[in-house]
Chains A and B, each alone.
Chain A
Amino acid sequence: MAERKSIEETKTALHDVVREMYDRIVKGEPPTMTLPVRTKNNIGFDPKLGVYKYGKKQTIRDATSLGSAKQLLRALHVIEFIESMINDGKSSTLREMYYISEGWGLGKFQSQNESNNLAEDLEIVTRCLREDFKLRPEEDGARMIGNLTLRERNRRGEWMRINARDDVGDSGYGVPYNVEAEKIEFLEHDINFIMAIETGGMFDRLVENGFDEDFNCALLHLKGQPARSTRRIMKRMSEEWDLPVVVFLDGDPWSFRIFASIAYGAIKTAHISEYLATPTSTYLGITADDILAYDLPSDDLSKKDIEALNAELSDPRFADGWWQEQINMMLEVGKKAEQQSLAKYGLDFVTETYLPEKLQQLGL
């Protein structure tokens, strides 16, 4: 499924969506759009792909209420817009599309969230990627530092060879929004693993301390919930170079979710999990037991934190024993801790003590 579609395939897939609405009207029924349920209740593990995918539950969006009817109309406008971009050889950002929708009258979007969601809906129904739709995210890609070399095709269409340690400044190599083969090729590397890091502060700390060179790894700054291109580049590097990925996050319920989206696939993008998720990645920390073992400065869990943890207990992605234990432990302790709380023991503690100990446990 996650193969790139040709222009004709994309158009046909989009027309099928339109056809469903049209045919229903001809039959004297309200127009509809059928799509999978996009909640945690409808994701299941796909053993073949090793990631979580949408299940069989379908929802029919029909035009019997004003809200859904407007959604259908918007979908038609978006399809028309995509077609015109395909025909003209243009592309636009999701945000640009949101502003362009100002001219769509009744089909105009009320918020950018709506337009992003609809683009995803269309991806799911048509089994295309938004790259096929010529829609780009606004989102900020990750930064990366480490001894690896790739080539990227620049604006002028020329390939540029870049070493992500020697050819970049302290902020590292900036991952572009498109990391597909037509844009990026991996050339060579001298690293043993990739470490994905949640916060910029911790990324900079590891860079300053020369962690990447001491431990022969690539450091990747996730910037919170990682963008699609960030997850995609991790997936490609891990797969093409056969490298393990370790994920170093804050110790709170939201970090657990970030990890789940990296390792198993996000609920919102479960239709392309096999394309974005890296099932071989490992959660390094901060774990609930780290908070106790290292006696880290911590904050009490908020009401929202507790709700999130409880929701995770029933999330199929966290069904395994280790996760259940971690979540329950965090609920029991009632505490959460940030990555940077390790600084309690000095600036070098993280690189000299904590990470070596944790990596050793993982056998790296």
Chain B
Amino acid sequence: MATLTDVNLRHDKIDTILSKYPFAETFLTNNGVDVTNFRENSLDDYFKSLDPEHIEDHAIDPEHLLDQFSVFISQMLSFLGEDDKVVESITILPGHDKSGKTENFSEFIIQKNEIVSIVGPTGSGKSRLLGDIEWAAQNDTPTGRSILINGKTPDKKWRYSSSEKLVAQLSQNMNFVMDMSVFEFLELHAESRMVTDSETVIKRIIEEANNLAGEKFDPNTPITALSGGQSRALMIADTAILSKSPIILIDEIENAGIDRKKALKLLLSEDKIVLMATHDPVLALMGNRRIVIKNGGILKIIETTEEEKEILTEIEELDKKVMTMREKLRNGEKLTS
């Protein structure tokens, strides 16, 4: 159990604890400890003042709470004290496919600001690969793969910490479910990430999201009232700017109502590593390399060829044409050939 040397959580004045660790208030609030009238007293005084019936009714366990409080503060301190150790690269070391055949590559290094596509039929093992990365596998998952971060065996924190996850995900099926405005929502997210200058960050996210979405939205719009394109734009901008995870997995992005190329650029400009599971040629060819998955293993890694890049330019134009037509239809215009 973690112990704090500079404060005594049980006997020190609550005010002293809170002025030293302002974030501690969140813990007390979320645990239903109302210390408004006890700021000059200790937590011990607070617990002693409680009616036994209140303790029973609210299922309060003072000893457990004090232990948890101490763990919470220690964790927050180590979290805040950390220098931003940037994830510069991840390395995948080969494991084997479902039939036990060793994967045919020696090591696969992905640098930050890079997009790598993942292709392969459903059930071929794409989510296992992601799982291996997220769990920072050390030859201890069903595929036997190992993952290195910045060329080294990763810290255990990537597995168990709730605030630091290696992979953030954006997928087709995602929806906003909270009942609040865009601004309130971003504020809440910023707060959970302990961002100090939240106003500026929120403003930037909304700007970027509006830049990606075809139709602009207002900070006061309820998040559940955003259109599909606007939601995707907000999710991407928010993940790019506010999520701490260095790796973003994108599971297809529908092209309706959002500029996908800009979206990827935004993610890369925030020093992310982007993995994209997609069979849409416009997206898949945007990566310099693509991983082909078959039978649970990485079958091969293909570099995007010059010819493919030319093809990409063609289909991007086509894509643009379709988008323009869509826009015209939306505006009640007629299409002309």
Please say whether chains A and B are actual partners in one complex.
no
Chain A interface (Cβ < 8 Å from any Cβ of B): none
